[in-house]
Structure 1
Amino acid sequence: MENSSEIVSFVLSMYGDIGHLKYLYFLLTMIIYVSVILANTALIVIIYVKPNLHEPMYLFLCSLFVNDIYGSTALLPCLMVQILSETHDISLLFCFIQIFNIQTYAALELQTLAIMSYDRYVCICKPLHYNSIITTRRVQIVILVIWIVSFVENGVLLSFTIRLRFCGTVIDKVCCVNHLVLELSCSPTNILSYVNDVVFALIFVFGLVLIVTAPLVFILFTYVKILSVCLKASKETKTKAFDTCTPHLVSIMSLVFACFYNLISQRFDMTIVPLELTVILSLYIFLIQPMLNPLIYGLKLSKIRHIFEKLCY
Structure 2
Amino acid sequence: MDNVSVVRIFILSGINETMNYRLTIFSLTLLYYCVILFVNISLIMIIILDENLHEPMYILLCNFCINGLYGTTGFYPKFLLDLLWSSQEISYSGCLFQAFIVYSFACSELSILAVMAYDRYLAICRPLHYHSLMTKRRLSQLSCFSWLTPFCIISTSILLTSRLRLCGSNIQKLFCVNWVIVKLACSDTDTVSNSVIAYATIFIYVSHGFFIIWTYMHLIKKCVRSTEDRAKFMQTCVPHLVSLITFLIVIIFDLMYMRFGSRDLPQSLQNFIAIEFLLIPPFMNPLIYGFKLTKIRNRILGLVYVKRKSSMKK
Residue 296 of structure 2 aligns with which residue? Answer: 304
1:146/1:9 CA distance change after superposition, 3 Å: same
Three-state SS of the structure 2 residue aligned to 1:18 is: helix
Partners of 2:19 and 2:174 in 1: CA distance: 16
67-76 or 13-22, which deviates more = 13-22
6-15 or 50-59, which deviates more = 6-15
Partners of 2:4 and 2:151 in 1: CA distance: 26
**Counterpart amino acid of residue 249 in structure 1:** L
Selected match of 2:217 from 216, 219, 224: 224
1:174-213 mapped onto 2 (5 Å cutoff): 174-188=174-188, 194=190, 197-210=191-204, 212-213=205-206
Tell me if structure 1 keeps the 8 A contact 2:19–2:83.
no
Residue 253 of structure 1 aligns with which residue? Answer: 245
**What is the Cα deviation at residue 224 of structure 1?**
1.0
TM-score (norm 2): 0.91
Deviations 1:77-135 (A, max 9, x none): 11111222322121111100001001110010000001100111111111121111112
Tell me if structure 1 keeps the 8 A contact 2:5–2:164.
no
Tell me if structure 2 keeps the 8 A contact 1:74–1:102.
yes
**Counterpart amino acid of residue 226 in structure 1:** L
Tell me if structure 1 keeps the 8 A contact 2:14–2:173.
yes
Three-state SS of the structure 1 residue aligned to 2:74 is: helix
Partners of 2:5 and 2:198 in 1: CA distance: 26
Tell me if structure 2 keeps the 8 A contact 1:107–1:150.
yes
Residue 103 of structure 1 aligns with which residue? Answer: 103
Tell me if structure 2 keeps the 8 A contact 1:3–1:167.
no
Partners of 1:143 and 1:167 in 2: CA distance: 40
Tell me if structure 2 keeps the 8 A contact 1:65–1:294.
yes
Residue 284 of structure 1 aligns with which residue? Answer: 276
Residue 48 of structure 1 aligns with which residue? Answer: 48
Partners of 2:285 and 2:168 in 1: CA distance: 38
**What is the Cα deviation at residue 256 of structure 1?**
0.3
Q: Does 1:214 align with 2:214?
A: no
- Alignment RMSD: 1.9
**What is the Cα deviation at residue 271 of structure 1?**
4.8
**Counterpart amino acid of residue 298 in structure 1:** G
1:203/1:260 CA distance change after superposition, 3 Å: closer
TM-score (norm 1): 0.91
1:1-313 mapped onto 2 (5 Å cutoff): 6-188=6-188, 194=190, 197-210=191-204, 212-231=205-224, 233-271=225-263, 273-313=265-305
**What is the Cα deviation at residue 20 of structure 1?**
4.2
Three-state SS of the structure 2 residue aligned to 1:86 is: coil
For structure 1, which runs of at least 5 residues remain unmatched after alignment? none
Partners of 2:179 and 2:22 in 1: CA distance: 27
**Counterpart amino acid of residue 127 in structure 1:** P
Deviations 1:36-61 (A, max 9, x none): 11111111111111111010111101
Partners of 1:266 and 1:17 in 2: CA distance: 19
**What is the Cα deviation at residue 208 of structure 1?**
2.4
**What is the Cα deviation at residue 268 of structure 1?**
3.5
**Counterpart amino acid of residue 137 in structure 1:** R
296-305 or 29-38, which deviates more = 29-38
Q: Between Structure 1 and Structure 2, how many residues are aligned?
A: 304
Tell me if structure 1 keeps the 8 A contact 2:157–2:198.
yes
275-284 or 67-76, which deviates more = 275-284
**What is the Cα deviation at residue 19 of structure 1?**
4.2
Q: Percent identity?
A: 36
**Counterpart amino acid of residue 46 in structure 2:** I
Partners of 2:285 and 2:17 in 1: CA distance: 33
Deviations 1:238-285 (A, max 9, x none): 122112111000100111011111122123344564443332232111
1:206/1:20 CA distance change after superposition, 3 Å: closer
**Counterpart amino acid of residue 209 in structure 1:** F
**Counterpart amino acid of residue 155 in structure 1:** S
